[in-house]
Structure 1
Amino acid sequence: MTLLLRFSPILFVFAFALQAQDLERRSGHPYLLYTDERVEQLKERMESEEILADAWERMLASAEEAAGPEKGRKRLRRDTVEELCLAYRMTRETRFAERVREWLFDQYTGEPRSDTPLMKREPQWNAGLGTGEAAYHFAIAYDSVYDFLKPKERKELAARFAEKGILVILNDWVLGEERIHSLDTMGHNWWSAIVFGAGVGAMAILDEDPRAEDWVRRINDASIEYHRYTGSALSNKPATFDPAGGFYESLNYAGFAVRTYLPFRMAWENAFVEAPPELPVLDGLDAFFIHGCYPNSDRLMSVDFGDSSNYLKGAEPMRMLWISGQREANNLWYLSEVTGQAAETLFTESPRDLLYAPTPEELAKVPEKPDLPTAMLYDNMGWALMRSSWEKDATFLAARSGFSWNHAHADAGSFVLYHKGKYMLIDSGHSSYPSAEYDDYFRQSVAHNVVLFNGMAENPENTYYGSVKDGTMSHLLDDGDFRYVLADATGPTSQYFARNYRSFLWIGDVILVIDDVKSFEPGQFEWQLHYNGEGSRPHHDIDFHVNYEGAEVLVRPLFPMTLPIGGLPTDYPENMRVVEKVGYTPVRGEKRAVKERTYHVFQPAELSRREKFITAILPLGDEGREGAPTIERLQGIDWIGVRIRQSGTVTEVYLNLLADGRIRHRNANLVLDNGWETDAYLFAFTYPEGGSVTDPSSALRTAVINGSYLRRGDWVALDSLSKVFLSASRGEQGLLEVQLQGQPYLNVGLGVAAKPDTVLLNGERFDAPYDAKGKRLQLRLPEER
């Protein structure tokens, strides 16, 4: 410590000296986008790639029209300005540069002013989203025709741009002398969407303004602060990005958050020898868009949590990720699906894209479907995304339990379901922001598939002030056709709920939603179901049937019951009320317009403080209800469960009622009628049809959720001092696949009749010691222990 203090001033001076070094440029102007190197590469490629040549001819024709006789000229759009810039760099014909010069002198005339009504605040806001975009486009144009401009013109344009464009942004959002904003003002996307346009602008005028290099440096350093922002307790703000690359404010705003940073990064790499900073969260952003999408036979859909869209067009951020260096073949698959274009035409719509179009070799690697896992957990922001496969029209389940504020709704514990190409069980979406229903309905818990207590879940003020206690999504197990994830919505709903846990257990063609809820006083619990299409519950039928354009889903409430300790359940789901309610849905294309939409809730017959909902969701195949798995309800002293028969297998699932916190200072020791003993919260056992749950050797898969032991007689299936989340499945040719989670250090004994030829532990080969006498594998995490 003494040495650190003694030398820290020297270290500080040294760091400052490094900061003050000149940025070494790769070339003179143009160095932001239309560099000589890129232009020459495009010319070479056009000789052998007809699609690129055709795209260039279209852009050239547009540029020629814009540069034609002055009479009858239309006001230039920004995309036309870029076509003029490319035309000038490709042909060197000055008529194109002259038209760009005219456009540049038309910009930043008069006094800077607020560009949106949102800016009229105290203190006055001077720079908004349009300000950042305008700065980027001016910079690209200025850099592209720099050699055409006279030195006096360069100085005049740069001075005007610096004062009325760049500094307007920096003084509001970056520089300490006048700044009024921080990184998390206006959510977590405005700062990025505005500031990096000024960064590109500062790069463009490095030769004309001695302040510009400091501005560029400051913004580049700030990019690290922005992307690594971890939230603020006192301000009630979450981390901006999940470490795996997700963006908590929705897929829609993920694109918004990087729409000017990625061009800034591209321009930096083109302009300077020094590499831009490493930002690991960006490495997973492309996969976030893909994991959040739903491939189908029609238009690609995406999860619409928060203020997003079910038909999100994520093409722009994905193109920019490609241009910025994330050249994964999966990205081209996504772009092709979301645009409906053939892969070879994906980068032929704009001059910028044309310069970075994938090569024939890269296009040849585009997969038929993504090479990604079928389940993904963004645990820091509380998203779980699971699908039966990456085939089109598969079944896709998405669940969310995280932070509520701004564009993130009060939907802790909610889920949506896509099946057979349709959006079946839905999020209510959002209306236009100025409408009354936006705050009063769409952002509130009532608009989502959650459990309510006396009509409430999250405090309605959470969407304005933020949820003081976040929800969480954790313990994803992805073991073939078996998946599990736990949503904890207790924090955001703690004003009304003492417990609010929701387990998603996906077994083959059955999705079990297991809710463990407890309130502070007796009241009415409600299990909400929002859906598309027609919903009905035929008389005396336990199932609620959803039919949307031929796709069908059954929602079957197997429990709740009033559950006295040590006794049999007394209330049966046949007595549950199914109540129709009225909510809203937005009217697309009509500002502030909404219309009514009906949905349904399941209500236990009596008021209570504690409930266990077990609800089966059955996405039906072509055979309809006749081909659905069969489900039996199981119950005993201190436990309830289900038996599922499908595809020649039987899975029995047991929920330990003692493991819900009702006993103190004791373990939740449960002895089932069939002889199994466990302290697990949930235990699932899969065996072949004709086998028996009482025969441990017949197990195809054993799953334990939050348990430390599982045994029957002399057979010890699981032995761990700390409780674990585990799925162990027996495959062919001596393969044992184990998914294991729990404490940072685990030493787990797993009962196995014979030593497996291969053990995969969390997807990796693992050389597990085997005790032949005790018939037990020993699994250790981390392995180096």
Structure 2
Amino acid sequence: MPTRRDFLQLASLAAPAMFLPMPLLNLSRGGSPLAGKLFFDETQLQAMRAAFSENALFVALRRRLAAFDRAKERKFLKSEVRYNDHLYHIARLSDSAQQMAFFYAMTEDKDAAKLAADCIRTMMKFPKWDYFLEAGKDVIGIQRASSSVLAAAFCADWLGDFVDKKERASWLETMGERGCEPCFRSLYGMRYPERVVGWSMDQTSTYFEHRPGDRVDLSNWPHILDRTNLKAVPASALTIGAVAYQQQFGKSEKTERWLEQAIYSIKTFRDLFARDGSYDEGVSYAHYTALHLAQATTILHRFGMADLYDLINWPGYLDYVYGMAMPVQDDLYEIVNFGDNGNAKTGEAGKPKRSSMPMWIAAHFHEPQALWFAEKLGGDLDEWALIWHRPQMQAVAPKSGPQLWHSDLDWIVARTGYQPKDLVVAMRSGGPSNHEHADRNSIIVKCFGEHLVADPYRPPYSFSDPSWMMRTTAGHSAVLIDGRPHQYHDGSEGTNASQAAARIVRKGERSGYFFWTSDATPAYQLVTPDVKSITRTVIVLHELPGVLILDKVVKTAQPSRIQARFFAYNLDGKGSITPASSGFKTMRPHAELHAFAASQNGIGVEVLRLPIPEENAAKHPFAEVSTQTPDLASFLVTVLLPVRKGEAPGAVEISRTNAPELLVKLNKSSRAITCRVLDTETIPEFEIAT
């Protein structure tokens, strides 16, 4: 994993000649297929067209753009657009415009260009480009104004001479007024929250028609958003919009003000990404954030305005996305889905597109393993992956075999490789973050192509939704104390961070296994002050494979029972979980998980569903393993054995040899492992013998 010093040395070599700022004379000449050359010029355009039409990497991109339903979109433009629908309609217009404009740039398909232009013309009719207001009257730009700025800037560039100069100027002028200024206003509010009068949602927008329960308290949002992906989006859009506006109208006080604010906001992400390149909102939001930062970084450098390539440890970010990769049989691009992360399961959204950032890292930091990730683990390659593709580079696979990744966030993942068959065991320790759940010390296990211990997939954002409890500890493969969770907020301000914290207090690698212990005491004490200590120790026997989980809870005065929950994956209706002798069994089409548990306080096992609407509850069945006798020091041992479908499950024997010692014997596939566990202090000790 690159250190900050290593990264800074790499960064000094980061920008190849093709990304150096281009002469303004070349940028402004007429008669060009590109109007602004914001990210590529005619020479690069020819190479991109060749890759688009011939390179097998971009088959999915070609098919998606060629299959775009133009008749449906024209019907939408003619009779369905509502000019106050910001949640869906303006977003649809900006997305459609960009897709068709890019397709025109690649193919010179004039019908696509006309549709792109018509989408922008329709977008220009929206009197407001976002549904958030400052002081009840001034639009502030978060996502919708940002995406509209990008659509206007990119289409003005990529449509080139197809759009006459007067209309292009009109687009960019409107973009400045309805897009750049609102983005500036939101970023200014995050920078100076004490100067904000008050943010609110625009009651004239149709937003609440679509989401009537989302009436969240925005009073603290200038502080909350200042540490999230929702700052990167307007910061990048304001950067790109300011450059496009300046290309058209020249430098002015307005563009200087926009650029100063945009660059300031982008620079603050130096402290929002961890030193090792990790990002605490999770992989889905990390990609969204990183892509916007990369776009801004690229255009600022290209036009000689700022060099921010060393802002974030981008090679370390590559380690982060590798560390969180979790391919399974039905989704080769699956990720460790802590918090609100995870791949959509249906439709176009179910085709993840996270290859552009690795492609950007490959191009700018000469990192061939980034190219391998883009090709193998990032999903469909999109427009930005093509823009940053360097055909001369050859992909290099990451190292194979068992490995333990521990990020600066205190997220930890053990794996045996990057294939669906490989074992992955992940734990969410660490501090609070936006888009988190109440999931400290929760685990995820996948092996033999299947999710075997799951993290519930993307529970609802809204606290008014009856399935919102899926966000709490009760909805995760974690521990409850007398049925009580660790701390979480009430959702009234959105998906913001809680106060719950945990930390990895030890970890190690030995022959045949990895281990770590996470201490979540502070998180649970916020709900149950009598908790003296709660730790979860995980031992990953990667050669077997198997997982031992040692849960220890110590109370100060009031004896308690503890419950460890293990969720099955049933989003596709193909998973089930049943109680078994001293444990449970989870079944998936290609694999099973056999679990065995023991405690000095006795155990009980139930298969349950959350008290939420049945449609969601059925997708997330779980086994609850609980101690039976209340104790001041509860200790629960759980053994998880993944097996291929049809394979003998193996045998597990857990016995107590004396008061503080348990002996765990595992036999599977002619392999025998003995684990001697000492129930001492707050963190159990153990010895492994094979």
**TM-score normalized with structure 1 length:** 0.66
Indicate conservation of the 8 Å contact 2:546/2:640, yes or no.
Answer: yes
**Higher alpha-carbon deviation: 478-487 or 148-157:** 148-157
Out of 640, 653, 673, the position equivalent to 1:617 is 640
Paired letter, 1:660: T
User: In 2 relative to 1, CA 634–585 (structure 1 residues): closer, same or farther, beyond 3 Å?
Assistant: same
Instruction: Find the aligned partners of 2:686 and 2:98 in 1 and give their Cα distance.
Output: 61
Cα deviations by residue, 1:582-617 (Å, 9 ceiling, x for unpaired): 3167888xxxx6658543322222111211111111
Q: How many Å separate the matches in 1 of 2:559 and 2:170? A: 73
Distance 1:94 1:262, change over 3 A: same
Secondary structure of residue in 1 paired with 2:246: coil
Q: 1:412-445 CA deviation, whole Å, 9 max, x = no partner?
A: 1111211221212222334333364567511111
Query: Is this contact kept in 2: 1:304–1:427, CA < 8 A?
Result: yes
Structure 2 counterpart of 1:41, one-letter code: A
Counterpart in the other structure of 2:622: 599
1:262-277 → structure 2 map (5 Å cutoff): 262-272=294-304, 275-277=307-309
State whether residues 581 and 600 of structure 1, in contact with CA within 8 Å, keep that contact through their aligned partners in structure 2.
Answer: yes
Are 2:595 and 1:549 aligned?
A: no
Is this contact kept in 2: 1:530–1:599, CA < 8 A?
yes
Q: Which whole-Å CA distance do the structure 1 matches of 2:70 and 2:469 have between them?
A: 51
1:516 aligns with 2:549: no
* Larger relative contact order, structure 1 or 2 (CA cutoff 8 Å, min sep 6): 2
Kept after mapping to 1: 8 A contact 2:459/2:471:
no
Contact 2:517 2:537 in 1 (8 A): yes
| Residues 1:31 and 1:602: Cα distance change in structure 2 (over 3 Å) | same
Q: Does 1:111 align with 2:127?
A: yes
State the alpha-carbon separation in 2 of the partners of residues 634 and 645 from structure 1. 18
| CA drift at 1:514 | 0.7
SS in structure 1 of the partner of residue 524 of structure 2: coil
Partner residue, 1:468: 499
2:48 is matched with which residue: 25, 42, 46?
A: 42
Tell me: CA distance 1:87–1:614, structure 2 relative to 1, closer, same or farther (3 Å): closer
- Cα deviation 1:69-120 (Å, max 9, x = unaligned): xx999999546644665577679999987876666555444633543xx669
Where structure 2 has 5 or more consecutive residues not aligned to the other structure, the ranges are 1-19, 29-35, 82-91, 200-220, 570-574
Aligned residue for 1:458? Answer: 486
Which runs of 5 or more residues in structure 1 are unaligned? Answer: 1-22, 230-240, 341-345, 562-570, 662-680, 688-785
> 1:517, 1:612 within 8 Å by CA — same for their partners in 2?
yes
1:131 equivalent to 2:163? Answer: no
**Equivalent of residue 229 in structure 2, options 168, 189, 196:** 189
Amino acid at match of 2:559: P
The equivalent residue for 2:215 is none
The alpha-carbon distance between structure 1 residues 388 and 51, as it changes in their structure 2 partners (threshold 3 A), is: closer
Residue 299 (1) aligns with residue 305 (2): no
* Gap change, CA 1:388 and 1:96, over 3 Å in 2: closer
Query: Which string of whole-angstrom CA distances, capped at 9 and with x for unpartnered residues, describes residues 164-205 of structure 1?
Result: 210111012237687676464286121112321121100111
1:166 maps to a residue whose letter is C
**Higher fraction of helix:** 2
Match in the other structure for 2:604: 577
Structure-1 separation of matches of 2:62 and 2:438: 48
Equivalent residue, structure 2, for 1:529: 566
What amino acid sits opposite 1:141 in the alignment? C
For residue 248 of structure 1, what is the aligned residue in structure 2? 280
Equivalences, count: 600
Which residue is 2:10 aligned to?
Answer: none
Distance 1:525 1:195 in 2: 46
Report the aligned-residue RMSD: 4.3
CA-CA distance at 1:256 after TM superposition: 2.8
**In the alignment, does 2:456 pair up with 1:425?**
no
What is the match of residue 169 of structure 1?
Answer: 183
Q: In structure 2, the residue corresponding to 1:424 is in which secondary structure?
A: strand
Shift of 1:525: 1.8
Residue 493 of structure 1 aligns to a residue in which SS? helix
Question: Aligned equivalents of 2:256 and 2:400: distance in 1?
Answer: 41
Counterpart-to-counterpart distance in 1, 2:130 and 2:53: 47
For structure 1, which segment, 156-165 or 494-503, has the greater mean C-alpha deviation from structure 2 after superposition? 156-165
Output one character per residue of 1:9-38: Cα deviation in whole Å (capped at 9) or x when no partner: xxxxxxxxxxxxxx9654414231242231
Q: Tell me which residue corresponds to 1:216.
A: 259
Give the conservation status (yes or no) of the 8 Å contact 2:582–2:605.
Answer: no
Write the mapping of 1:384-399 to structure 2, written as runs, cut at 5 A.
384-399=412-427
**Pick from 355, 366, 381: which aligns with 1:318?**
355
Q: Residues of 1 paired with 2:534 and 2:390: CA distance?
A: 48
Which of these residues, 269, 273, 284, is aligned with residue 226 of structure 1? 269
| Pairing 1:738-749 to 2, within 5 Å after superposition | none
2:508 aligned with 1:477, yes or no? yes
- Measure, in 2, the Cα distance between the counterparts of 1:56 and 1:620: 40
Tell me, what secondary structure is at the counterpart of 2:609? Answer: strand
Q: How does 1:437-452 map to 2 (within 5 A)?
A: 437=465, 440-452=468-480
Q: Which piece of structure 1 moves more, 154-163 or 58-67?
A: 58-67
The answer on whether the counterparts of 2:610 and 2:617 sit within 8 Å (CA) in structure 1 is no
The question of 1:198 aligning with 2:229 is answered no
For residue 686 of structure 1, the aligned residue among 674, 680, 689 is 689
C-alpha distance in 2, partners of 1:518/1:299?
40
Confirm or deny: 8 A CA contact 2:605 2:624 kept in the other structure. Answer: yes
Change beyond 3 A, Cα 1:36–1:437: same
Deviates more, 1:193-202 or 1:84-93: 84-93
**Structure with more of its chain in strand, by fraction:** 1
Structure 1 segment 762-781 matched on structure 2, within 5 A:
none
Q: 2:518 aligns with which of 487, 501, 504?
A: 487
Name the CA distance, whole Å, in 2 between partners of 1:67 and 1:422: 38
**Residue 354 to residue 146, structure 1, CA distance change in 2 (3 Å):** same
Shift of 1:579: 3.2
Matches within 5 A, 1:60-75: none
Aligned-residue offset at 1:446: 0.9
Greater Cα offset, 459-468 or 58-67: 58-67
- CA 1:125 to 1:625, structure 2 compared with 1: closer, same or farther past 3 Å? farther
Summarize the alignment of residues 356-375 of structure 1 with structure 2, pairs less than 5 Å apart: 356-359=388-391, 361-362=392-393, 365=395, 367=397, 370-371=398-399, 374-375=402-403
**Correspondence for 1:498:** 532
Equivalent residue for 1:380?
Answer: 408
Superposed CA deviations along residues 649-702 of structure 1, whole A, max 9, x for unmatched, are: 6544344444338xxxxxxxxxxxxxxxxxxx5242435xxxxxxxxxxxxxxx
| Cα contact 2:235–2:265 (8 A) shared by 1 | no
Q: 1:132 deviation in Å?
A: 0.6
Alpha carbons of structure 1 residues 308 and 447: separation in structure 2 relative to 1, 3 Å:
same
Does the 8 A contact of 1:454 with 1:523 survive in 2? yes
Task: Kindly state the Cα deviation for residue 281 of structure 1 after the two structures are TM-superposed.
Answer: 3.7
